[in-house]
Structure 1
Amino acid sequence: MDDPRYLRQVLLAEIGPEGQARLGAATARVLGDGGGALPLAYEVAERYARGAGFGALAAGAIDLAALAPADLVTSPPARAVLAGARAALAEMRAALGLGGARPGRAGEGGP
Structure 2
Amino acid sequence: MIPFSDLRKLFPLKAGAKSTIEFVELSPDKQPKATKMLTLVVKGKETFSLGGCKYNVLAVKETFKNGAGETLDTFTALYAPDLQASLARRYDEGTSTESVNGYETIKPLAE
Q: If each structure's strand is expressed as a fraction of its own residues, which one has the higher value?
A: 2
Do both proteins adopt the same fold according to a TM-score greater than 0.5, normalized to the shorter chain? Answer: no
Q: If each structure's helix is expressed as a fraction of its own residues, which one has the higher value?
A: 1
Which has the greater radius of gyration?
A: 2
TM-score w.r.t. structure 1 length? 0.29
Which structure has the higher relative contact order (CA within 8 Å, separation 6+)? 1
